[in-house]
Structure 1
Amino acid sequence: EFTLRAYLNGRIDLSQAEAVAEIVAGGNAFQLQAAQKLLAGKLSQTAAQIRQEILDVLSLIEAGLDFSTEDITFVGPDEATEKIERITEALETLLAGGIRYEEMIDLPSVGLAGTSNAGKSSLLNALLGQERSIVSDQKATTRDVLCGVLELEKCRCTLFDCAGLKRAEADSALLDELAAQAAAEAINAANMVLLCVDMAKTDYSEDIEISRTIGAGRIALVATKADLLDEQDSKRKQTQLAELFDSQLVVTSTRSGRGIGSLRALIDSRIVSLTAGAAEAADRIAVNQRHRKIVAETIEHLDDAAGQMALGNDEIAAMFLRSAYEVLAGLEKEDIDEAVLDRIFSNFCIGK
């Protein structure tokens, strides 16, 4: 309500009003920075500069039309076309460099995978800081896909636990088969997988098979139940697991809290690298579907204007440039009916 009032009273433009909703929905630190740049008017400033460049070219072309009987050349076709193409390139760069607002809505997912009783549920609870999953010594306690939002230093993600992945058995109950199917589908869709391996056991053939099924690219190896081994046995087992899985591992114990902080940091860095590189994201602006539609339409008008200039149709080119100027102005404030405003502000939470 307050953001709508600010827009209607001219205190902020439309893109800044949308930035408030984008800040609320931002999934990591870099997405928030992009939305904050939008709120600060970075998109509006960029659009205003580009509109001024369009106006400069338009004024030169129209001056030539107004004084066509005079022996004066304000701008030649080649020069005008070059100016229009530079403006088009600037808009294309804006589109390519923006973080899609729609991409912010779906948080990246991190799945806990492993055999039954590998310590996945305990690890889920430890990472989330709450009792989200039932913990039991009995195998196959977890059947449904359980999830929660993991808040990290630089980002957020969905963390989920599911039934243990295991070979299908001929006498498996229907419920076990459905649980295994749901687990496999969830793990396959995850951006990152924490493969939980019980340090206290001796046979890892099933764990190795699971790791091959998932693929090494998304896996982070997590050694669980480190508290069940003494220091000497723990070091020996770490070396063994690193060789077996050909991977570095994070050693954890949910009872002592060992390795939980290191694991959170690893997830944080992996998810940030998936969403946007730190160096690239620093200068990016949050761009939503409405912005992209306006910029794309402006580019179309500019392309048409350049084409008409090449054909010597200055008057038609001026018409397309004027259209491009008017369309781009819609990023800040446009003649927009109440239904469209309702649609934009419906994305806001009550009280935000």
Structure 2
Amino acid sequence: MIPQDCIVALATPSGAGAIAVIRISGHEAITIGNTVFKSIKNKELTTQKTHTLHLGHIMDDSKTLDEVLVSIFKGPNSYTGENTIEISCHGSTYIQQQIIQLLLRKGCRMADPGEFTLRAFLNGKIDLSQAEAVADLISSDNEASHQIAMQQMRGGFSNEIAKLREELLNFASLIELELDFAEEDVEFADRTQFHDLLNRIEFVLKRLIDSFAVGNVIKNGIPVAIVGEPNVGKSTLLNALLNEERAIVSEIAGTTRDTIEDELVIGGIGFRFIDTAGIRQTEDLVESIGIRKTFEKIEQAQVVVFLFDSSEFKVSGLKLKVELEKIKNQFPLKPLVIIGNKADKLEDSEIENLKSEIPEILLISAKEKLGVEDLKNQLLSFVNTGALRNNETIVTNTRHYDSLLKALDEIQKVKFGLETNLSSDLMALDIKEALYQFGMITGQVTNDELLGNIFANFCIGK
């Protein structure tokens, strides 16, 4: 049942500011707003057109609380699909609270987290995947995550799923019709066309599932572990990447005894750099704990940057190669960037020797910030941004990913049944399950627990 009561919440961040926006939605929203608003031109809000602005004062009986602008949005042409007003007041926390408390006394109640967007979903203004994209858009902190959220909020993902679901539903209807005429042994569904449709659905589902590997790291940031022996310049490199003194730098080996994390946006993609404790044999209890954490961070990272002092390669080259092989063998699937730091101290002959010994090496000077841009470009090359440039649908939501996997499993069952002449009634069960998983994504199939879990993560006021 769609709620009809009026909800109110602060739509702008809490705290003092130049202005604040208080949002009211519900069947009686405009009427309640009219009881507390006095227009400078004596207008009644209830008689005004939708999508109009009105200047006046919020009045608590004879007491003036603030001079405000009131925006009117009449349902169904509003974000929630209900009558909605937004009060733009001055940003004093005192004024905000006074207006909200007045509206509560007039019959509103405080909105739950995400309740405005929940009502938009319940009133058919957006589907469930678009509603989730609203939260992703609010939390987006780089160009790539913003682009993905915008594409999904506009219905790119849900339109693709809805089209597949509709075509599958048409064939499901024909299969069900065959069951009604089972005694006549007739076929209403063209098996060749059905097989082609299943192949197409399987192809699209696999593409969407594969996109999750990219989408998930874009949404959450790509963790990059910077590892190596003590005093090779890991903290200096982190500072050079971030262009600030984030990590303590000293000549004393083992200065970094815990992991330090910070984020940087490169080419619109978020990277989360982790400066780890230097890897070496040590008797220091605190430092050994840091080294153990280093290997834990390597396990969690998507990319590993191995840093060494290139000026010491003549002395420690053999030991270095052993360490590299150890990391490659322990983490064979992780991209590994091998960096020779302090390259500004090398002679040309030493540079040539290093490149012949380690062909994939990237030579830099973190202290002088030489080669840092080359490292950024190499890190960016590990991310498949082609889908972003082509405006393809990218899956970032774990719930969607799970439903896509289940839908693909059911489609493959239907395809196998079709190829092995399985009876129509058994195929119909697998088709229904695939349709169910499609519906779970867009919200055509929901339950209160699912909606509660999704909208509980929203901010209040949205």
TM over 0.5: yes
- The secondary structure found in structure 2 opposite 1:50 is helix
In structure 2, the CA distance between the partners of 1:80 and 1:299, relative to structure 1 (3 Å rule), is farther
Kindly indicate whether the alpha-carbon contact (under 8 Å) linking 2:362 and 2:375 is maintained by their aligned counterparts in 1.
no
Match for residue 198 of structure 1?
A: 309
Q: Is the CA contact (8 Å cut-off) linking 2:224 and 2:272 kept in structure 1?
A: yes
User: What is residue 348 of structure 1 aligned with on the other side?
Assistant: 458
Q: Say if 2:184 is the partner of 1:76.
A: no
The alignment covers a number of residue pairs equal to 335
Aligned mates of 2:379, 2:430 — CA distance in 1: 49
Alignment partner of 2:315: what SS?
coil
Residue of structure 2 aligned with 1:135, choices 249, 255, 269: 249
Listed one character per residue, the Cα deviations across residues 96-122 of structure 1 (whole Å, up to 9, x for unaligned) are 111338834654322222222111111
Identity percentage over the alignment?
Answer: 29
Alignment partner, residue 268 of structure 1: 380
Match of 1:156 among 265, 270, 291: 270
Residue 236 of structure 2, aligned match among 111, 117, 122: 122
Say if 1:142 and 1:94 are closer, same or farther in 2 by CA, change over 3 A. same
- For the Cα contact (< 8 Å) 1:222–1:252, is it kept in 2? no
Please say which structure displays the higher CA radius of gyration.
2
Give the alignment's TM-score, normalised by structure 2.
0.59
Identify if the C-alpha distance between structure 1 residues 333 and 116 changes in structure 2 by more than 3 Å, giving closer, same or farther.
closer
**Within-5 A mapping of 1:32-47:** 33-47=147-161
| Structure 1 alignment gaps of length 5 or more | none
1:1-352 alignment to 2 at 5 Å?
A: 1=114, 2-23=116-137, 33-60=147-174, 76=187, 79-98=189-208, 99-100=211-212, 103-104=216-217, 107-166=221-280, 168=281, 172-187=283-298, 189-201=300-312, 203-205=315-317, 206-215=319-328, 218-227=335-344, 229=345, 233-254=346-367, 256-270=368-382, 272=383, 276=384, 278=386, 282=390, 283-286=392-395, 288-292=397-401, 294=403, 296=406, 300=410, 303=413, 310=421, 328-334=438-444, 336-349=446-459
Aligned-pair distance for 1:128?
1.8
Contact 1:57 1:83 in 2 (8 A): no
Q: Is the 8 A contact 1:27 1:155 kept in 2?
A: no
User: Comparing both structures, which one devotes a greater share of its residues to helix?
Assistant: 1
Q: What per-residue deviation string (whole Å, max 9, x for no partner) do you get for residues 211-246 of structure 1? A: 23223974323232345x3xxx44333223223434
Asked if the contact 1:122/1:133 (under 8 Å) is kept, the reply is: yes
- Structure with more contact order per residue of length (Cα contacts < 8 Å, sep ≥ 6): 1
Q: Quote how far apart the aligned CAs of 1:134 are.
A: 0.8
Answer 1 or 2: which has greater strand percent.
Answer: 2
> Could you tell me whether the CA contact under 8 Å between 1:224 and 1:252 is conserved in 2?
yes
- TM value normalised by structure 1: 0.75
Question: Could you report, residue by residue, the CA deviation over 1:124-183 in whole angstroms, capped at 9, with x for unpaired residues?
Answer: 1111223221111122111111121232114222211122222x36xx233333333332
Equivalent residue letter for 1:92: E
Q: Which segment drifts farther, 189-198 or 101-110?
A: 101-110
Root-mean-square deviation over aligned CA pairs: 4.0
> Is contact 1:30-1:281 (8 Å) kept?
no
**Is the CA contact 1:113–1:193 (under 8 Å) kept in the aligned structure 2?**
yes
